[in-house]
Structure 1
Amino acid sequence: MATKIRPLQDRVIVKRLKEEERTKGGLYIPDSAKEKPVEGTVLAVGNGKVLEDGTVRKLDVKEGDRVLFGKYSGTEVKLDGEEHLILREDDILGVIEA
């Protein structure tokens, strides 16, 4: 059974895109030399950011969006054996549009 998680407030759950196994020239990249991708897919979003006046502003991202985020942003968590990232909406740099 898959774990269900609902992020709170302005947080989102992101699954990183898979790291490249080889360079464009065909060389194999060992795990120790791989850089973690800064791109991923939004799996879940919180209810929104609570503003100073107490109102809630909905997030600009939604489930299924492909997003870019900072290299050292967020908190890594393992869900059902897979690594995910919990980010605040402010940590998301942009949405990749098809």
Structure 2
Amino acid sequence: MAKRLIPTLNRVLVEKILPPSKTTVGILLPEKSTRLNSGRVVAVGPGAREKEGKTIPVPFKEGDTVLLPEFGGTQVKLGEKEFHLYRDEDILGTLHE
């Protein structure tokens, strides 16, 4: 049975993107040159509530590629996969090609 996590409030569930460790022709790349701390948004909470009770929506949606901080987030393991849970304000931005 597969588990699914729906984040609460303004939290965002992210699966980190692991960069390739070698090129297509087999040249090994140094770890520092391949490290862009990015991830794919898997699930998004409904948003935080302000004092008046109005919901502030999360600015990310499922499928977005986001730039993550070097540290932070909560590691979550669902089945064999590893995810990270961040508050929306901790995510640095959205990456576009």
TM bracket, shorter-chain basis: 0.7 to 0.9
Structure 1 partner of 2:18: 18
Q: Per-residue deviation at 1:55?
A: 1.1
Q: Whole-Å Cα distance in 1 between the matches of residues 36 and 76 of structure 2?
A: 15
TM-score, length basis structure 2: 0.83
What SS does the aligned partner of 2:89 have? Answer: helix
Q: Per-residue deviation at 1:64?
A: 0.5
Q: Per-residue deviation at 1:45?
A: 0.2
Please tell me the residue identity of whatever aligns with 2:64: D
Q: Whole-Å Cα distance in 2 between the matches of residues 55 and 48 of structure 1?
A: 10
Structure 2 partner of 1:51: 50
- RMSD of aligned C-alpha atoms? 2.4
The list of structure 1 runs, each at least 4 consecutive aligned residues, that deviate by more than 4 angstroms after superposition, is: 33-37
Please tell me the residue identity of whatever aligns with 1:41: R
TM-score, length basis structure 1: 0.82
% identical aligned pairs: 36
Structure 2 partner of 1:39: 38
Q: Whole-Å Cα distance in 1 between the matches of residues 3 and 89 of structure 2?
A: 25
What SS does the aligned partner of 1:43 have? Answer: strand
Q: Per-residue deviation at 1:27?
A: 2.3
Aligned residues: 95
Conserved? CA contact 1:16–1:37, under 8 Å? no
**1:72 aligns to 2:71 (yes or no):** yes
Please tell me the residue identity of whatever aligns with 1:61: F
